[in-house]
Amino acid sequence: MSRYALQGALSRDLLTWNGKVLVHDNAAEMEFLFTGDVRVIPCPSDIPPEQTIDIRYHPQLASVTWPLTKEQFR
């Protein structure tokens, strides 16, 4: 399964929450949800799954139903 991560546009650091890299399996959904000074990149393969957290489990995205549908964002 492919994983995608968020990278700071200027710092090039991967964005984290509680010390875990934010990832998701759908790059298009990440690009839709996160705008601004971040880029969606393939998650480096040297980062083990236990050091990541899927964005769907981030508390600020708790109200989002997955997979995303256009109707949710009108």
pLDDT at 73: 67
pLDDT at 74: 61
Summarised one tens digit per residue, pLDDT across range 34-70 is 988 999 999 999 999 999 999 999 999 888 888 888 7
Q: How far is CA 23 from CA 16, 50, 71, 74, in A?
A: 9, 11, 23, 25
What is the residue-wise DSSP string for 5-49?
EEEETTT-PBPEETTEEEEES-HHHHHHH--SSEEEEEPPTTS-G
Residue 17 — pLDDT band, cuts 50, 70, 90?
very high
